[in-house]
Structure 1
């Protein structure tokens, strides 16, 4: 990490020697760090089961309700931008502990909020925790992971996120089932939707307690001149073999590293480097296809087209299971088939499924309350299309974009460019999330048609602008390497 709130994971502290560590300690430690991703997913999706109840409880318009759902993303953007600076001042473990406290405060505050605006405030606080977790977990894992298993350990973050989404939706379903519906009283005179938020206190406490059991990053310890502590941590991870060599490598890396800055993204002639725009566009397309509409609003969506609340919960849980399974498929296949082919296939699949949903909703008859009614085969078709959309996204644009962002940027600007692209992703996520309730009221067919257009455009964007990074060394991503390749082609 740097004082600018970014980090560079371009090289492991262990180098590339496959014999330097068994990896068992690193796997355990990385698994604890990845719990931040679990809370990231849990906090992001937990509001799904509560959206309808919140709207009824506080009698708000669709626009205000959309802002309430998306409010956590504002906190996430702020948390992501400041996590690096806090981590450099206080340490990686301190950021994890702070994130756990923020999640706990959000769980209690949102669950007990007497009005919508306090609910929004506590959701923003939870969003800060999401932002912290989204940055610190992959950074910490990159800094403690042996090079030979760094990719697999890094993928724990994405797996933890989708697992957190599944668990939060499952908890929402079970609480609503026990109470009768999300609006009904459950325990202690509190409605089921409030307990959906309160239950997040459990994983928040678990995350905080487990954070007490793992060591500080050796890289941070060396950077803050705590060499004896760094030596003890490295001994735990490596044993005595190559301990001094690894410690020396960390010190030399820190000495030569130049803290990344936003200024690094600009060309000497002005404007951003083209690869920076490509990274930003990847992030924006990933969100503009509307994937988070499925995970934030799916209950509202299925209720709007005729399913009862219980069936809507079941559909949502099934969708989250599908998301986990296809993420595992992506992790297993990305190094075999390559990044670009998966993106192209994903774009085609998303375009077809989203267009199908747009046609089904756009041609549906309208009920007395103005919502579309899916008669006959229309309901099953929409349900199948929605889940196939998740399949297409989960095996491609979901995990692959993050891999490409880590591999595509030149070494000199990688950290700053990653931060810039991630910020763009949070903003795009917020725009989609805050706008969907109003779009739903206008026309679900139009909403899904718009997402289909972005999926269609993403196909041509990948074909024209995205280059394959499968098997490429990170050093091949430098501007100098590009110039050398261009000269050879000439």
Structure 2
């Protein structure tokens, strides 16, 4: 649902802009309005999950996803569309916090990296299904999201309504999994916690329950004030989590997943071919996430992040050079990729997704579930995820004006700089967490 909800708008961007006669700035805000909701949802998800439990919070997110899908497809104008997208964004923000926390709290240490990477796998599968859905709906409407589809309703509206079945399925599935044993211990429900641990971990569960109890603050609920050091200001580890979140977005990955259909149209591809390229990119994203799952517990988190940062810097720099030096089409004012330039851009874009897909995509979520101790995990994850969505909002909102004002070359130059910074950030501030129990953090 996280991936589906954020990416489903990809195929509808151009049609939305024409349907509501929106400027490039307003289009960017409409696309990224869900991200403001995500920041809000992420901020409150941790405290909510600590009060109501992880499972109930997931069920609440399912309801919001469903309402957002219905409302986005029925929207009469740009502002009510923005409201419904923001509502879905709140659900995405909640899911982005609860999933890594839940997985980290349930998974055995030797499997936690791989199981944590499954969140990214779910995200990229959701992105792929959304892009594939957009492609086939547009194809059924004659190759355009503006054309009428079933019952004479515009295809772009059906793109949003296609989210309703998975949104309901998410809620049903959430109610079928056990509650987090660490949440249960915090609520004084040691017997239930032991039952869950016996099912998912096995071994001496009573000693594990006691170990968890010793690390969980039983006197009061976690608060955001726990994130402050004795000298004032945020704890260093919280800054590290925020840095990971910001850099994951500032490398521009979601420009590919939110705007790729209009990005490839801007350099000369047809709408149908642009949507097909986007689907192929979604497949590449899934395949590379398998690499992360297979290697994260073998090679560790830090080496994969470093390799991904270097690869992203090279591929983004290539895109910046190709787009920046492309000839301008006098009819449209857009860069035109002719000959080998188009092939180089497609290869660089997909290689960029490869390097992101096995490193910064899944590993950041794994680390955010691991690096914080039990006392601050929910609150720190909420803050880090909230910052991540704000960073995502900044990148997504600024892309259409950057495209129109400065061109693709300048936009990708900015993302290249962020990727280069990420190399030094990982080298200086990230410590390896492979194989450690959460109680050791």
* TM value normalised by structure 1: 0.82
Across the aligned residues of Structure 1 and Structure 2, the Cα RMSD in angstroms comes to 2.6
- 1:343/1:107 CA distance change after superposition, 3 Å: same
Match of 1:441 among 404, 411, 417: 404
Determine which structure has more spread, i.e. the larger CA radius of gyration.
Answer: 1
Question: Is residue 393 of structure 2 the alignment partner of residue 430 of structure 1?
Answer: yes
Match of 2:37 in 1: 75
Matched, 1:261 2:223: yes
CA distance in structure 1 between the aligned counterparts of 2:300 and 2:103, rounded to whole angstroms: 23
Does the CA-based 8 Å contact 2:93-2:386 persist in structure 1? no
Tell me whether 419-428 or 270-279 shows the greater mean CA deviation: 270-279
Q: How does 1:360-439 map to 2 (within 5 A)?
A: 360-367=322-329, 368-409=331-372, 413-439=376-402
Residues in 1 aligned to 2:217 and 2:250: alpha-carbon distance in whole angstroms: 40
| Residue deviations 1:316-353 (CA, integer Å, cap 9, x gap) | 01101111111110121123333232222222211111
CA distance in 2 between partners of 1:421 and 1:170 (Å): 30
Pairing partner for 1:302 from 264, 279, 286: 264
* Residues in 2 aligned to 1:60 and 1:214: alpha-carbon distance in whole angstroms: 43
Query: Of the candidates 424, 427, 432, which is equivalent to residue 460 of structure 1?
Result: 424
Q: What does residue 298 of structure 2 align with?
A: 336
Match of 2:27 in 1: 65
Give the whole-Å Cα distance in 1 for the aligned partners of 2:211 and 2:134.
48
Q: After alignment, is 225-234 or 189-198 more displaced? A: 225-234
* SS of equivalent residue, structure 1 residue 188: helix
* Counterpart position of 1:158: 120
Q: Which residue of 2 aligns with 1:11?
A: none
TM-fit CA distance, 1:281: 1.8
Aligned to 1:200: 163
Which residues of structure 2 form unaligned runs of 5+?
none
Instruction: Tell me how many residue pairs correspond in the alignment.
Output: 438
Could you say if the C-alpha distance between residues 274 and 257 of structure 1 is closer, same or farther in structure 2, counting changes exceeding 3 Å?
Answer: same
Alignment equivalent of 1:179, drawn from 141, 158, 161: 141
Secondary structure of 1:185's partner? coil
> C-alpha distance in 2, partners of 1:353/1:107?
35
Quote how far apart the aligned CAs of 1:152 are.
3.0
Distance verdict in 2 for CA 1:457–1:121, change over 3 Å: same
Q: Which residue of 2 aligns with 1:105?
A: 67
Relative to structure 1, the CA distance from residue 211 to residue 336 in structure 2 (aligned partners, 3 Å threshold; closer, same or farther) is closer
Highest relative contact order (Cα 8 Å, sep 6+), 1 or 2?
A: 2
Are 2:233 and 1:278 aligned? no
Alpha-carbon distance, 1:431 to partner: 0.3
Change (3 A) 1:475 1:138: closer
CA-to-aligned-CA distance 1:199-231 (integer Å, 9 cap, x gap): 100101112222333344444455445677667
Q: Which moved more, 1:393-402 or 1:333-342?
A: 333-342
Partner of 1:484: none
For 2:288, the equivalent position in structure 1 comes to: 326
- Any idea what SS the aligned residue of 2:149 has? strand
Cα distance in structure 1, aligned partners of 2:147 and 2:352: 32
Are the structure 2 counterparts of residues 90 and 414 from structure 1 closer, same or farther at C-alpha, using a change threshold of 3 Å?
closer
Aligned to 2:312: 350
Q: How far apart, in 2, do the equivalents of 1:246 and 1:337 lie? A: 27
Cα deviation for residue 468 of structure 1 reads: 3.6
Partner of 1:27: none
Query: What CA distance in whole angstroms lies between the structure 2 residues aligned with 1:472 and 1:227?
Result: 23
Residues of 1 paired with 2:291 and 2:415: CA distance?
24
Query: Which is further off, 350-359 or 312-321?
Result: 350-359
Question: In the aligned structure 2, how far is the partner of 1:459 from the partner of 1:224?
Answer: 41
* TM-score, normalising length: structure 2: 0.91
Query: 1:18 maps to which residue?
Result: none
- Cα distance change on mapping 1:441 and 1:137 into 2, 3 Å: same
Is 2:96–2:385's contact at 8 Å kept on the other side of the alignment?
no
| Residues 97 and 418 (structure 1), Cα distance of their counterparts in 2 relative to 1, 3 Å cut | closer
- The answer to whether structure 1 residue 122 and structure 2 residue 84 are counterparts is yes
CA-CA distance at 1:136 after TM superposition = 2.0
1 CA distance for matches of 2:233 and 2:152? 58
- Give me the whole-angstrom Cα distance separating, in 2, the residues matched to 1:144 and 1:473: 11
User: Quick one: structure 1 residues 278 and 303, their matched pair in 2 at CA, closer, same or farther if it must change by over 3 Å?
Assistant: same
Q: Measure, in 1, the Cα distance between the counterparts of 2:27 and 2:334.
A: 17
Offset from partner CA, 1:136-160 (integer Å, 9 cap, x none):
2233333443445333333221111
How much has 1:462 moved relative to structure 2?
2.5
Between 48-57 and 210-219, the greater mean CA deviation after superposition: 210-219
- Name the structure 2 match of 1:139: 101
SS of residue matched to 2:420: helix
1:465 Cα offset (Å): 3.2
Q: Tell me the SS of whatever aligns to 1:369.
A: coil
**Aligned-partner Cα distance in 2 for 1:102–1:127:** 9
